[in-house]
Amino acid sequence: DQQVKQNSPSLSVQEGRISILNCDYTNSMFDYFLWYKKYPAEGPTFLISISSIKDKNEDGRFTVFLNKSAKHLSLHIVPSQPGDSAVYFCAASRTLSSGSARQLTFGSGTQLTVLP
């Protein structure tokens, strides 16, 4: 049962245009969402996050939108640059039953390729 889904395994965009990466989730207990960027043979690095009480968070060229009623979030990159080419993972966080413990559930990732 995939609780976090990224339905597009790959996305190609032209340099300078907008990249939109999508993510859907099913578990209403998720209350915080994060995007990670990953290069081959490296660990993921944190990119941007959003709390479930907000609908938008912006950081430079990166903006994350959350539609809680639709259980959908998206990451917008404007303008896209060749260095943005990587796998992007959506992750959702929830509190576990054991008090302060939290767990991230990851989507399957989207390979973004920005063409020069």
Partner 1 sequence: DGGITQSPKYLFRKEGQNVTLSCEQNLNHDAMYWYRQDPGQGLRLIYYSQIVNDFQKGDIAEGYSVSREKKESFPLTVTSAQKNPTAFYLCASRETANYGYTFGSGTRLTVV
Give the HSE-up count for residue 107: Cα atoms under 13 Å, Cβ half-sphere: 31
| d(C-alpha 6, C-alpha 110), whole Å | 7
**4 interacts with partner 1 by CB under 8 A:** yes
Query: Residue 87 or residue 114: which is nearer to partner 1 going by CB?
Result: 87
**106 interacts with partner 1 by CB under 8 A:** yes
Among 32, 65, 71, 79, binds partner 1 (CB under 8 A): 32
| d(C-alpha 7, C-alpha 12), whole Å | 15
**108 interacts with partner 1 by CB under 8 A:** yes
Among 70, 83, 98, 116, binds partner 1 (CB under 8 A): 98
* Segment interacting with partner 1, rule: CB under 8 A, options 11-19, 35-43, 55-63, 70-78: 35-43
Among 46, 56, 58, 81, binds partner 1 (CB under 8 A): 46
**107 interacts with partner 1 by CB under 8 A:** yes
**Strands of the chain, DSSP E:** 4-5, 10-14, 19-25, 32-38, 45-51, 56-59, 62-67, 72-77, 86-95, 102-106, 110-115
CB of 48 closer than 8 Å to CB of 70 = no
Task: Return residues touching partner 1 (CB under 8 A).
Answer: 4, 6, 9, 32, 34, 36, 41-46, 49, 89, 91, 93, 98, 100-109
